[in-house]
Amino acid sequence: MFSKKRFSERLMDVPESGTVAIANLVSQLKQEGIEIISFSMGEPDFDTPDNIKQACIRSLSSGFTHYTPSTGIPELRKAIAERTVQDNKINCTAKNVLVTPTKQALFMIALAYLDPGDEVILPDPAWVSYEACIRAAGAKAVHVPTRFEDNFRMSADMMAAAITKRTKMLILNSPSNPTGSVMPRETLKGIADLCIEKDILVLSDEIYEHIIYEGEHVSIASFDGMFDRTFTISGLSKTYAMTGWRLGWMVAPEKDIAAVNKLQTHSITCCTSFTQPAAVEALKGPQTERMKMIKEFRKRRDLALDLLNDIKGVECNRPEGAFYLFPKYEHKITSEDLATYLMKEAHVAITPGRSFGPAGEGFFRLSYATSEDNIIRGIESIKKALSKL
Ligand code: PMP
Ligand code: GLU
């Protein structure tokens, strides 16, 4: 028997992923034959568009099955850079692109830039993996609680109050998981100015950039003086229903791509080879399927929002992007207990608001990346179960 301390301090400080834990439980219950309507996992229920799958099959058949350059195949880096210039108004070239799964980008950036004692500003609630990566690097997350009344947006003034001498980085995520909230241009500009004034790096997670219903997506790296201090991460998972393909990217100054690529070469080496030509097809091929999915998401958002706001004691903002609703509830029960109760009583899976930070308590997250029929039946079951509390 191994008798020394088994796990690193680092690991013991990393919380479990609340989103993945619920999703795993749903799969387990389904295998046991229990039907659960799941609003838990944040992944599109659509199939990956066929033109993308066919491009992958072609690349497999042609024997494109070995290592690629660790930064990604040149055609894909170029396609990502072109789309980033066009869609995000970020002035960049292929040399500013590292092809890597989005989550891997986040993890490597945390390891490459954060030391123990460093502080990272995190608007709260925020997606679960930010805090985990900050902690894995030995750094500290400083939460800035945002309010339902402000549509969960952090202002520059709110951020300013959280800055200390140790503040090294800010993490932004617009459109947001879990709230669906989108940061307006002027708010982002105020935050950008503050980051320049206080010399703070920014990790901008823009994975939901194309799933937007109202307003515009603005990349903070597009403001003057911001490119040098911003790591923009995004990917194919959500936009093209490609979660299982594990393909995304980071856009940053060349010196930062080289630094993070060191970690890439020692961890995954490179992304899967035969999926990369398919990613080029996703970015450069017809965009009709993506547009259809967004139209469908918008319909579902409106449907789910009306049904939720019809429940006594539940209130939900109208989010402008992503595919999440983040309603608050009045019932006197913690969000974790609520998730357990709804799973048992209503056979419905939601994610507790608390998983996304202390400011998420009293809320739950509902992913509407599921059919209209599930939305109608699932929210009806939630309504019935809540009326018994
Ligand atoms: N950022 C956010 C905000 C997400 O919701 C997700 C969802 N998985 C990711 C990053 C990671 O994306 P991927 O699974 O493509 O690595
Ligand atoms: N991002 C999705 C979610 O929040 C998938 C799970 C995860 O990666 O956390 O549900």
User: What average pLDDT does this structure show over 213-239?
Assistant: 97
Per-residue confidence (pLDDT) for residue 19, from 0 to 100? 83
**Span from the CA of 174 to the centroid of ligand 2 (angstroms):** 15
**Span from the CA of 177 to the centroid of ligand 1 (angstroms):** 9
Assigned token pair, 256: 């930062």
**Span from the CA of 199 to the centroid of ligand 2 (angstroms):** 30
253: CB partners within 8 A, 6+ apart: 96, 227, 228
Report how far residue 381's alpha carbon sits from residue 375's, in angstroms, rounded to the nearest whole number. Answer: 10
Does the beta carbon of 103 sit less than 6 angstroms from any atom of ligand 1? yes
Assigned token pair, 96: 């500013």
- Other CB atoms within 10 Å distance of the CB of residue 292: 12
Helix (H, G, I), strand (E, B) or coil at 64: coil
**Span from the CA of 106 to the centroid of ligand 1 (angstroms):** 9
Per-residue confidence (pLDDT) for residue 329, from 0 to 100? 98
Find out whether 126 and 357 touch, Cβ atoms under 8 Å: yes
| C-alpha pair distances (Å), 58 with each of 65, 192, 277, 312 | 11, 43, 9, 53
Query: Measured from the CA of 41, which atom of ligand 2 is nearest?
Result: 10
Give tens-digit pLDDT for 348-383: 999 999 999 999 999 999 999 999 999 999 999 999
- Helix (H) or strand (E) segment spanning residue 387: helix 372-387
Q: Which of 17, 20, 326 to mutate to test the pocket of ligand 2 (most atoms within 8 A of CB)?
A: 20
Question: 123 has which bridge partners?
Answer: 144
- Tell me the pLDDT of the chain averaged across its residues: 96
Give tens-digit pLDDT for 56-77: 999 999 999 999 999 999 999 9
Per-residue confidence (pLDDT) for residue 24, from 0 to 100? 85
Q: Give the model's confidence band at 150: pLDDT under 50 very low, under 70 low, under 90 confident, else very high.
A: very high
Report how far residue 306's alpha carbon sits from residue 296's, in angstroms, rounded to the nearest whole number. Answer: 16
Whether 28 shows a pLDDT value over 90: the answer reads no
Per-residue confidence (pLDDT) for residue 29, from 0 to 100? 86
pTM for the model stands at 0.96
Pick the ligand that lies closest to the CA of residue 107.
1
**Span from the CA of 60 to the centroid of ligand 1 (angstroms):** 26
Does the beta carbon of 209 sit less than 6 angstroms from any atom of ligand 1? no
Report how far residue 227's alpha carbon sits from residue 254's, in angstroms, rounded to the nearest whole number. Answer: 11
Whether 30 shows a pLDDT value over 90: the answer reads no
Find out whether 147 and 155 touch, Cβ atoms under 8 Å: no
Does the beta carbon of 205 sit less than 6 angstroms from any atom of ligand 1? yes
Q: Give the model's confidence band at 25: pLDDT under 50 very low, under 70 low, under 90 confident, else very high.
A: confident
Whether 314 shows a pLDDT value over 90: the answer reads yes
- CA torsion angle 41 45 49 53 (round to 10): 60
Whether 146 shows a pLDDT value over 90: the answer reads yes
Place of tokens 């579902």: 300
